[in-house]
Amino acid sequence: MPFYAPNSTVRLAEDPVDQSYTGTTVLMTYGESLVPGDLVYFKSDGKVWKADANEASLYPVMGMAVETASSGSHTVLLGGIYRDDTRYALTIGGMVYLSVTAGIETQTQPGDTDDAIQVVGIATHSDRIFFNPVLTYITHT
């Protein structure tokens, strides 16, 4: 049985280096070629694949790839801070959503009929996201 100290705190490094993360991770099997920052969903084949807001079978986002690979068991960030100086040009304090482009995030809610609107985090800096995917979503009508 795990031991949990009362009033204990887990601290995440708020300022990871470029293309790195801090947070809760799990090893999962990649089902396709993924790169750090790709948003993924868990498919019925037991693998993670790129999530996409305009295809009902390709969401909700449950994690973020943090390793480059096309198959095999690799690290997936379930929640925490991810930094990418090249990929991100975020508006600080803005919500981050799943995009209609597979694996990508956006700060603009998808707006076409039947697109999923899923919050995946909030921008803490222009190059950092507090990644915390909400597993519930709504579809645009």
Q: What is the pLDDT of residue 59?
A: 96
Low-confidence stretches of the chain (pLDDT beneath 50): 1
Q: Which amino acid is at 24?
A: T
- Is 9 a member of any domain? no
Domain span holding position 40? 20-139
- Is 26 a member of any domain? yes
Q: What is the pLDDT of residue 1?
A: 47
- Is 124 a member of any domain? yes
Taking alpha carbons only, the member of 100, 42, 88, 47 closest to residue 70 is 47
- Is 4 a member of any domain? no
- Is 99 a member of any domain? yes
Q: Yes or no: say if 133 and 105 are a contact pair by the CB < 8 Å rule.
A: no
Distance CA 35, CA 84 (A): 12
Q: What is the pLDDT of residue 140?
A: 83
- Is 5 a member of any domain? no
- Is 24 a member of any domain? yes
- Is 11 a member of any domain? no
The count of structural domains within the chain is 1
